[in-house]
């Protein structure tokens, strides 16, 4: 879901991982 991507994006922003990679991982997790 879009909300899920946003949550992952926020988490990534705090983390050292890039947003793109986090979004890709979020899709894999779902």
b or e along 3-29 (b: 16 or more beta carbons within 10 Å of the residue's beta carbon)?
eeeeebeeebeeeeeeeeebbeebeee
Look at 23 and 3; give whichever has higher pLDDT: 23
Give residue 11's pLDDT: 56
Render pLDDT for 8-25 as a digit per residue (tens, 0 to 9).
Answer: 555 545 555 556 666 666
d(CA 5, CA 11): 10
Domain count, the chain: 1
Provide the token pair at 4: 């899920």
Look at 12 and 29; give whichever has higher pLDDT: 29
Residue 26 phi/psi, 5-degree rounding, is -60, -40
Give residue 22's pLDDT: 67
- Residues of the domain holding 3: 1-30
């Amino acid at each position: 879901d879009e909300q899920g991507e946003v949550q992952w994006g926020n988490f990534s922003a705090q983390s050292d991982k890039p947003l793109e990679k986090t979004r890709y991982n979020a899709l894999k997790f779902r």
